[in-house]
Each structure stands twice: as structure tokens, then as C-alpha cells.
Amino acid sequence: MTRNLRIPGIVRGSRIQFFFNGREITAFKGETVLAALMAAGIKTLGVDPHGKGRGALCGMGVCYQCRVSIDGRPGRRACMAQVRAGMVIETEKDLP
């Protein structure tokens, strides 16, 4: 397990839980989905048509490489969406 990747000494929002591919993950209200996943050591957010992993690139809503399905809605950008309690996030397989 990696060290805690959240920078210490920061006042954060309240602690919440969400689900990534069925796994329960802790986050803080106000974080983006991308930040919450990266803090949990998760970098692979999708699978390309050749079976290779896909992860965030720009981190600012430009490249659409961080898309995940959120609560059943496909193609949402993890770097732009805010994490919410109980959110169900799933990786997507890209179409060929």
C-alpha cells in the first residue's frame, strides 16, 4: 500500500465513502473524482479497445481521457466531477 497521498495539514471537507468498481473508497467532500481516485492510488480509469489502460492526462477537463461512468451515466470526466457520498463509479471499456 502506498503512503497517504493527501497532503497533510489541509482543512478538508467531511469524510465520505464512494464506490469504484465495487470497492469502497474514502474521500473528502469537495474533491474531484480524479483527486479521490489518485489519492487512493488508482490511476487506471478505463480500458482502450486494445485492452490497455487509460488514465487522466490534462487534469483540467480538456482531453477526455479520464472518463468514467458515474451512477450509470457514461463518459463523465473524473477530473471535473465532484465526488459525492455513495457515488458509484465504474471504469469503461472504449469502443473499437
Partner 1 sequence: MSSHADVVVISAGIIGASVAWHLSEKKVDVLVLDKSDPCSGTSGACDGMVFLQSKKPGVHLAMAMAGRHRFDNLARELDAEIELRCRGGIMAVTSAAELAAVTRFIQEQNRAGLGVSLLDARQARDLEPCLSTDIFAATFCPLDAQVNPIYLTLAFLDAARRHGAKVLSRTPVMDIRITPRGVYAIDTPRSIIETRTIVNAAGVHAPEIGKMVGLEIPITPRRGQILVTGPMPPLLSRCLISAGYVAAKYDPDIAGTGSMGISIEQTARGNFLLGTTREFAGFDTTASLTAAKKILSRTQAVIPGLANARLIRTFAGLRPFTPDGLPILGHVSSRPGFIMAAGHEGDGIALSPVTGQIIAELITGTTPGISLTPFHLERFFRGTVS
Partner 2 sequence: MIFKKRCDVAIVGGGVCGLAAAATLADQKLDVLVLDENRYLGGQVLRSLPWPGNASGIHKIFRSRPRLVDKTATPSVTILNHTQVMGIDKDLEILAEKDRKEIIGIRPQMVLAATGARETFVPFPGWTLPGVMAAGGVQTLMKGAGVLPGQYMVVAGMGPFLTAVAGLFLKNKGMPTAILDFGKRADTCRLLVHGFRQGAKILEGVRNLTGIFLAGVPCRYRTMVVAAQGSRELEKVVAARVDSLGRIIGGTGKTYKTGCLATGWGFVPNLELPMQAGCSLTHDPDLGGWVVAVTHDFETSIPGIFAAGEITGIAGASISMIEGELAALGILKKLGRNVDVHRMAALQRQRKQSLSFSTWFNRLHRVPDAVFCAIPDTVLICRCEHITMGEIKTAVEKGYDTPAMLKKVLRCGMGLCQGRTCGPVVNRILAALTRRSAEAFPVLPVRTPVKQVSVRSFLR
Answer yes or no whether residue 30 interacts with partner 1 by CB under 8 A: no
Residue 95 binds what, of ligand FES, partner 2, partner 1, none (CB under 5 to 8 Å, by partner type)? partner 1
Contacts of 7 (CB under 8 A, 6+ apart): none
Answer yes or no whether residue 56 interacts with ligand FES by CB under 6 A: yes
Q: Which of residues 40-69 bind partner 2 (CB under 8 A)?
A: 43-45, 48-49, 52-65, 67
Answer yes or no whether residue 15 interacts with partner 2 by CB under 8 A: no
CA distance 85 to 30: 11
Answer yes or no whether residue 59 interacts with ligand FES by CB under 6 A: yes
